[in-house]
């Protein structure tokens, strides 16, 4: 491994203001999602930045007004050397009531060693560091023998398919680094999928007919879809408890794999027996599971719940899982990422971290989800490693520690110059 050059570290420290200016530039773009469809201008800024540093760039609209940008710098050694993807999302979380903020939301504030503003931690700080490293590599004429690819994607905050769109278009590499906030720990992750469970009656009844229904001693085979959904929720609670004692995965506390009944909708009018009810659930699962296997398990379990109810047997449950957008489809998927801690790139990243920080890196599992799982789905080895603490993401007065950002920048530069110069 190439040793960290002390002049690189000193150079990053002496040009701190330049790094912070790039971050301030990014923060000024209010790329809040939802509502989204607002990343065009910041992506133009990033695309122009990469082109100035001799990257070949491509952009395309994933949704109107929300383009992805991919910048590619071809290595001098061609396909004989390791290639790398650096991936980060450019959208930021909702702001909420701006009156609760004590600093400007979209004008970065530098105070007491922290940079404040929406997106500083999640995750424009990491993107600013990446752009700054790209500039330094170009200025110093650092040779990279393997290809370096920078992806700034849309939609992560609302479960939209920015990174998926990159993999669908064939963008690939020998390793991918998702620079979402991990407090500079190396992470894999569990997965998340949302789904809708619908109960729909074959018949519609006036409220006055309720007294004649089976549960009241009558002969009319009718029921309230809302009341029947209570049986479904109880069934989901039973399954969640079962998972908590029968499933486990290193790095997660028992019961991390949850089934959350998040939203319920139903009924049409007080004068009718509810003929339809919809339940929106969020399911967390472990890295050794897939969203397909988990949803199959839920459907199988609820099928048995329904079979025990005469009315549900004749009015079967309907399922709709996932989607490419919480905004457009009210559904999302974040695949899990089963990290390989023994992969050469992961070991190299750990060495780079230790050289910069003079202490071993922590390797574990993220408490949240990122786009990293899409690389795993595409067969691209990947980990999450970035600056910023989880508690800062989506918070009022969001901030990032400037020293942490500088440290991450040094590690990133060190890792790129090593990995992209390793022969396959």
Q: Is the dihedral angle over the CA atoms 42, 138, 163, 120 positive or is it negative?
A: negative
**181 Cβ contact partners less than 8 Å away, ≥ 6 residues apart:** 121, 122, 123, 126, 386, 387, 388, 389, 390, 392, 393
- DSSP per-residue string spanning 89-107: E--B-----GGG-SS-SSS
Question: One of 91, 147, 180, 404 is an active-site residue; which one?
Answer: 91
Neighbours of 324 (CB within 10 A): 19
CB 207 within 8 A of CB 400: no
**97 Cβ contact partners less than 8 Å away, ≥ 6 residues apart:** none
Catalytic annotation present for 156: yes
CB 160 within 8 A of CB 327: yes
CB 58 within 8 A of CB 70: yes
Question: One of 156, 160, 180, 332 is an active-site residue; which one?
Answer: 156
CB 132 within 8 A of CB 302: no
Catalytic annotation present for 91: yes
Rounded CA-CA distance 182/149 in Å is 21
**52 Cβ contact partners less than 8 Å away, ≥ 6 residues apart:** none
Rounded CA-CA distance 175/89 in Å is 18
Return the SS3 of 146. coil
**Catalytic residue numbers?**
91, 156
């Amino acid at each position: 491994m190439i040793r960290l050059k002390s002049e690189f570290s000193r150079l990053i420290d002496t040009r701190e203001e330049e790094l912070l200016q790039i971050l301030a530039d990014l923060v000024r773009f209010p790329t809040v999602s939802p509502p989204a469809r607002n990343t065009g201008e910041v992506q133009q800024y990033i695309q122009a930045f990469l082109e100035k540093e001799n990257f070949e760039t491509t952009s395309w609209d994933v949704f109107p007004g929300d383009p992805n940008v991919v910048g590619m710098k071809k290595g001098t050694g061609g396909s004989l050397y390791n290639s790398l993807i650096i991936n980060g999302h450019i959208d930021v979380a909702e702001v909420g009531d701006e009156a609760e903020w004590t600093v400007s939301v979209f004008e970065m504030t530098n105070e007491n060693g922290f940079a404040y503003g929406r997106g500083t931690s999640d995750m424009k700080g990491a993107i600013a560091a990446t752009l700054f490293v790209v500039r330094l590599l170009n200025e110093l004429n650092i040779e990279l023998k393997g290809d370096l690819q920078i992806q700034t994607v849309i939609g992560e905050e609302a479960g939209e398919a920015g990174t998926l769109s990159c993999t669908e278009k064939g963008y690939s590499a020998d390793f991918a680094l998702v620079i979402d906030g991990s407090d500079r720990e190396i992470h894999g992750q569990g997965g998340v999928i949302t789904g809708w469970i619908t109960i729909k009656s074959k018949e519609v009844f006036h409220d006055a007919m309720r007294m004649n229904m089976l549960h009241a001693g009558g002969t009319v085979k009718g029921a309230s879809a809302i009341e029947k959904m209570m049986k479904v929720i109880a069934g989901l609670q039973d399954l969640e408890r079962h998972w908590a004692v029968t499933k486990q995965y290193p790095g997660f506390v028992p019961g991390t794999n949850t089934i959350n009944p998040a939203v319920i909708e139903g009924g049409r009018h007080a004068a009718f027996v509810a003929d339809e009810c919809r339940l929106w659930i969020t399911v967390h699962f472990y890295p050794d599971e897939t969203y397909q296997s988990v949803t199959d398990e839920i459907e199988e379990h609820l099928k048995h719940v329904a079979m025990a109810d005469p009315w549900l047997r004749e009015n079967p449950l309907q399922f709709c899982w996932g989607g490419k957008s919480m905004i457009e489809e009210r559904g999302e998927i974040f695949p899990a990422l089963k990290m390989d801690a023994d992969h050469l790139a992961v070991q190299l990243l750990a060495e780079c971290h230790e050289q910069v920080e003079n202490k071993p890196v922590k390797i574990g599992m993220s408490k949240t989800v990122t786009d990293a799982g899409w690389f795993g789905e595409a067969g691209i080895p990947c980990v999450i490693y970035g600056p910023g603490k989880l508690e800062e993401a989506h918070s009022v007065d969001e901030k990032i520690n400037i020293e942490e950002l500088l440290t991450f920048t040094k590690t990133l530069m060190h890792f790129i110059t090593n990995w992209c110069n390793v022969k396959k």
